[in-house]
Amino acid sequence: MDKYLLVKGTAGLGNRIFALVTAILYARISGRVLAVDWRDRYYSSDGENVFFDLFEIKNTPFIETIPESASIYPNLWQGRMDESISQVIAKDVGLLDTMGQAVLRKYAYDVRNLTYSEDIVIGTGYTEEIDRLRSVFSDEYRHFKNTPKGIIFRETFHQHLRLTPTIQERIESFRRQNFADQPTIGIHIRQSDKAISYSWYKRALAHHVERYPNARIFLATDNRDVETEISRLYPNVSMVDKWLPAPGVKAHGNKTCPDLKEHAIEALLDLFLLTSCDHLIYSRTTSFGLLASYISLAPVENHFDIQLYNDRRKKGLKEKVETIQRKIEHAYKYCMGLIKLGDS
């Protein structure tokens, strides 16, 4: 009898793709058949499993149905296999804002354990867990033990996942109409419930436009006001025509969205158009931006993480603090008569 790994969708598209790629690796290493459950209310309004409307799985055993068995790990899922992770945790804990990675691990497998005897193990999570998987990489995956995480993720994603033909055609149609033969600058700007420094995004975009004045700009954002302003600042901006909530309100999981499955498709259009751009501007602090960077087809040297501005600021502040500390230490030694004026 086959043994299964059922991965439950959690949160937004980037989060659940991170968990899915981790599950694909684990399923292949452990010899389990993969199943995916994206019936939750983030992207499904009627309980339909929307995953197979979005993706096809290739080069790994999978089933399109939800496996059935009384042998389940963790046992917390007994009798609750048709529920989402958020429903289960809400009943057990009572507060959805407690759904951090540590809490989620109580409801999912440990990727470092390949010896579960249960017929079904459950996977879920907000992030990829490739570093935790390194201890069990063997045989055909032995070379992954010391491979950079981004390369592992990118290789696994492109080898085992592809978009449905319908979505792929929408992407190609958009590219034909908007990208032509010009170089493209893709920028992901998150400015909803989690607002990253907007000035850093604009600074990075201005720098890229100055360097590549003939490039077209592809904008992926969750904020209508950002769409308006970037379109005003630059004449050659294209973007997916999609539903967005009021500025400052989260887009994914929003109950006012008129078509949840179409919303997921629109997110995939944004993601894959970003990954096909010649240059990518993003923030590693957002799962969507980090995912775009991981699977982008552009050379790594053409990826610009706006958090570099913060890294440089912190580095500059650290250097200033160290300089002040050296001056204080120097003054103390002079006052104590340990050194003469002018000594270093």
DSSP secondary structure letters along 131-190? HHHGGG--GGGGGGGGS-HHHHHHHHHHHHEEE-HHHHHHHHHHHHHHTTTS-EEEEEE-
* Per-residue confidence (pLDDT) for residue 123, from 0 to 100: 92
Q: Exposed, middle or buried by CB within 10 Å (0-12, 13-18, 19+), for 337?
A: exposed
**pLDDT tens for each residue of the chain, 344 residues long:** 799 999 999 888 999 999 999 999 999 999 999 999 999 888 988 888 999 999 999 999 999 999 999 999 999 899 999 988 888 888 887 655 555 666 777 889 999 999 999 999 999 888 899 999 999 998 888 889 889 999 999 999 999 999 999 999 999 999 999 997 889 999 999 888 777 788 999 999 999 999 999 999 999 999 999 999 999 999 899 999 998 888 877 777 778 888 999 999 999 999 999 999 999 999 999 899 999 999 999 999 999 999 998 766 545 444 444 444 454 454 444 455 555 555 55
Q: Exposed, middle or buried by CB within 10 Å (0-12, 13-18, 19+), for 97?
A: exposed
> Could you say which architecture CATH assigns to the domain 4-163?
3-Layer(aba) Sandwich (3.40)
Indicate the angle between helix axes 287-295 and 260-275, nearest 10 degrees: 50
* Per-residue confidence (pLDDT) for residue 329, from 0 to 100: 52
- CATH code linked to domain 178-305: 3.40.50.11350
* Per-residue confidence (pLDDT) for residue 89, from 0 to 100: 83
* Per-residue confidence (pLDDT) for residue 320, from 0 to 100: 45
Domain residue limits, the chain: 4-163, 178-305
Indicate the angle between helix axes 165-178 and 260-275, nearest 10 degrees: 50
Q: Which residues pair with 220 in a beta bridge?
A: 188
CB under 8 Å to 283, separation ≥6 — which residues?
A: 188, 190, 196, 200, 201, 289, 290, 305, 306, 307
Q: Which residues pair with 189 in a beta bridge?
A: 221
DSSP state string for 210-242: HH-TT-EEEEEES-HHHHHHHHHH-SSEE----
Residue 93 CA to residue 206 CA, distance in Å, equals: 46
Domain 4-163 and domain 178-305, same fold? Reply is: yes
Helix (H, G, I), strand (E, B) or coil at 296: coil
CB under 8 Å to 311, separation ≥6 — which residues?
A: none
CB under 8 Å to 277, separation ≥6 — which residues?
A: 184, 185, 186, 218, 296, 298
Residue 85 near residue 107, CB atoms below 8 Å:
yes
